Structure 1
Amino acid sequence: MNATSATTPDPIMAAIGTAVSLGTEGNVETARRDLLAIWRRIGAVGDPLHRCTLAHHLADLYEEPAESLVWDVRALDAAEALTDQRAREYHASLHVAGFYPSLHLNLADDFRRLGLFQAATEHINEAENHTSELPEGAYGDTIRTAVHEVVEAIAERDTTPRASAPHAVQ
C-alpha cells in the first residue's frame, strides 16, 4: 500500500508515510504516537484509503498479536469500504483487490500467533485466493513467501513470530 508517485497530492497519506518511515528506522514509539494522532484526526469512519493504510502499518508497530489484530481488522474493514476509484485518485496503479493478500495474511498471522488456528486458516485461505492480484516482483514475491510460511506455521500449530514478519523494533 505504498505509492511512490501520487496522482493527487494527499497530505494525510504523506503524514502516514512519514510516520511509517520513523517506525522503519526504529523510532517505534514516535511512529505509533504520530499514527494514533492521525487516526484521531481522520476518525473511524474517515477516508477508507487513509484508514486502511494507517491501520495496516500501525499493526506492524505492535509486538503483541492481540494489539496487531485490532489494527489489522480495522485495515480490512476500511479496505472493504474502499473503491478502486478512490485508490487510483491517490495513485493510478492501485486497485483494492491487490490489498487483500497482505491484509488477510496479516490477520492469519495474528490469529496463528494467538493460537486461533481455525480463524488463521480462514484468513490464510483468503490470502491465497487473492495472490493472483499481487504484482510480479519483490513486493509480490515477499507476500507470496509469507503466505507459504504462515500456511506451514498453521499446519505445525506454531505460534512463534515469523522471522520475516514486519514487527516493531524496540
Structure 2
Amino acid sequence: MAVRSGRSQWDAASGQLLLDFEVAPIRGDVAFLDSAPRNLASRDEQAEEWFVLAEQLTETDAVGAEQAYRKVLELAPSPHYHAYINLGVLLCEVESRCDDALSIFDGALQHFPDDALLHFNRAVVLEELKRYDAADAAYQRCLELDSGHADAHFNLARLSEIRGDKQGLVRHLSAYRRLVG
C-alpha cells in the first residue's frame, strides 16, 4: 500500500520513498539545445563544431540537423559549402521541403556560382517541384561547368522522355552511357 502526501509517495509498511520512473509524453515544443562548446577560439571553429554535430544528427534527428546546419551558416566567417549542400539535400530528401531546399541552393549559388554540383542539386529540386523547364536549364548549366557529369545527362534523358523529346533522350542517354561505360 502506498501513501501519498503532496508530490511524494512512500510504501506504508516500510516507509521507503517510491519514485515514479514512468516516462511522461512530451507536451509542447521541444527546443534544440545549444550544445556547441562556448569557449572555442574562433567563429570558424564554432562553425566546424556545429557542422560535425549536424552530420551526426542527420540520420537520427532531421530537425536538430537542420538547426545545426543553419547555425553553421550563421557562424562561419566565409560561406560553408558543405553546410549548404547537406542542408539542401536534407530539406528536400528527408523533410520533403523542396521549396526550402531550393532557397538554400539559390543562396549557395550566390557564393559559389560556378559549382556544378550545386546546379545539379538545384535541378533535382526543381524537377521534384515539377518545374521541368527550370530543371532542364539547371542541368544544362551543370554540364556547361562539368561536361563529364554523368548523372546530369541521365536526368536530362529522363526529362526529355517526359517531354516526348526522343532526340534529347537518345543524345543524353548516349552521353551518360559513354561516361559510365
TM-score bracket for the superposition, by shorter chain length: 0.5 to 0.7
Q: Which runs of 5+ in 1 are unaligned?
A: 1-9, 81-96, 135-143, 159-170
Matched with 1:47 is 78
CA contact (8 A) 2:48 2:72 kept: no
| Residues 155 and 64 of structure 1: CA distance in aligned 2, closer, same or farther (over 3 Å) | farther
Separation in 1 of the partners of 2:127 and 2:154?
11
State the 1:104 CA deviation: 0.6
Matched with 2:134 is 119
Higher relative contact order (CA 8 A, sep 6+): 1
State the 1:72 CA deviation: 0.9
User: Superposition pairs for residues 13-162 of structure 1, below 5 Å?
Assistant: 13-23=48-58, 25-42=59-76, 46-48=77-79, 50=80, 52-62=81-91, 63-80=96-113, 100-132=115-147, 144-157=149-162
Count of residues in correspondence between the two structures: 115
Identity of aligned residues (%): 19
State the 1:120 CA deviation: 0.9
| Residues 15 and 131 of structure 1: CA distance in aligned 2, closer, same or farther (over 3 Å) | same
| Runs of 4+, deviation exceeding 4 Å | none
Q: Which runs of 5+ in 2 are unaligned?
A: 1-43, 164-181
More helix by share: 1
Q: TM-score, normalised by structure 2?
A: 0.54
**Higher-Rg member (1/2):** 2
Measured on the aligned residues, the alpha-carbon RMSD in Å equals 2.4
State the 1:14 CA deviation: 4.6
* Deviation digits for residues 6-38 of structure 1 (CA, Å, limit 9, x no counterpart): xxxx52235324312421x33322111211223
